[in-house]
Amino acid sequence: MTDLAIIGGSGFTRLQELEITRRQVIHTPYGEPSAPITHGIFKNREIAFLPRHGTAHTIPPHKVNYRANIWALKHIGARQILAIAAVGGIGSEMAPGVIAIPDQIIDYTYGRDHTYFEHDLSQVTHIDFTYPYSEKIRQQLMMAAKTTNIPVVANGVYGATQGPRLETAMEINRMERDGCTLVGMTGMPETALARELGLDYACCAVVANWAAGKGDGPISMKEIEEHIGRGMEQIIALIEALVESLEK
């Protein structure tokens, strides 16, 4: 049974080590997911994979159909989601190349379809979102980091911005005052939608660049891509260790 699903972010449109068994096209009441769901065997365990930005990385963060993606993963029977995301580093501990496992979120996005509780409600529903990420998966990721000797920052406040443009230096200053240590464009509403459907969800973030105004000069896509490329090897090792630990 496919219990664990991985949502791949920028630079992670496929999981090379996955022995693919089938691809499943799913139509949801919320429209089409970013791509067919890839099912396969990874470290002797059946898992599912969905590239958030589409198979060819053509869907920008504000156009991702988050509701369809999360609905599709629930539909195939996933109960746990590990989301991979490239982010900018705001906190001094979040230098490019760092891998962080955030524990909080602040949502700065707007105009995105952000809830399943909209129409035909028999009652108004407010999910608890005090702790947005699954502590169980976060702890499993930390254990995976220990076994693989991969240094990770065990917490972080993910500020989710609208994009697709990067932020201004002042926006980052404001986010820092709010308490954000990371900035990315896809954390919301994805995380909240997973909670609405009762799925355990955690994020593994690769810091690709210093956030605006925190490094020297403008942010280049080349820099971002280089750090993501290097970070992904570590992410794959972490996923391997995580999946092996789930089997026990």
Q: Which residues bind ligand HPA (CB under 6 A)?
A: 86-88, 161, 166-167, 183-185, 208-209, 211, 224
User: Helix, strand, or coil here: 209?
Assistant: strand
Smallest distance from the beta carbon of 58 to ligand HPA, in angstroms?
Answer: 17
Q: Which of 38/234 has CB closer to ligand HPA?
A: 234
Go through the chain and tell me how many residues it has: 248
Which of 201, 198, 197, 192 lies closest to 29, judged by CA?
A: 197
Q: Which of 190/196 has CB closer to ligand HPA?
A: 190
Q: Which of 182/242 has CB closer to ligand HPA?
A: 182
Q: Which of 154/169 has CB closer to ligand HPA?
A: 169
Smallest distance from the beta carbon of 40 to ligand HPA, in angstroms?
Answer: 27
Smallest distance from the beta carbon of 212 to ligand HPA, in angstroms?
Answer: 6
Q: Which of 224/242 has CB closer to ligand HPA?
A: 224
Smallest distance from the beta carbon of 209 to ligand HPA, in angstroms?
Answer: 5
Q: Which residue number is nearest to ligand HPA in terms of Cβ?
A: 88
Contacts of residue 41, defined as CB under 8 A and 6 or more positions apart, other chains included, come to 18, 19, 21, 47
Distance of alpha carbon 131 from the chain centroid: 16
Contact between 160 and 187 (Cβ < 8 Å): yes
DSSP designation for 62:
G
Q: Which of 37/212 has CB closer to ligand HPA?
A: 212
Smallest distance from the beta carbon of 127 to ligand HPA, in angstroms?
Answer: 25
In the structure encoding, which two tokens stand for residue 175, read together?
Answer: 């986010």
Contact between 61 and 109 (Cβ < 8 Å): no
Q: Which of 40/231 has CB closer to ligand HPA?
A: 231
Task: Report the number of secondary-structure helices (H) and strands (E) in the chain.
Answer: 5, 10
CA distance 100 to 157: 10
Smallest distance from the beta carbon of 176 to ligand HPA, in angstroms?
Answer: 13
> What do you get for the CA distance between the two ends of the chain, in Å?
15
Smallest distance from the beta carbon of 241 to ligand HPA, in angstroms?
Answer: 25
**Across the strands, what pairs with 202?**
82
CA distance 141 to 114: 27
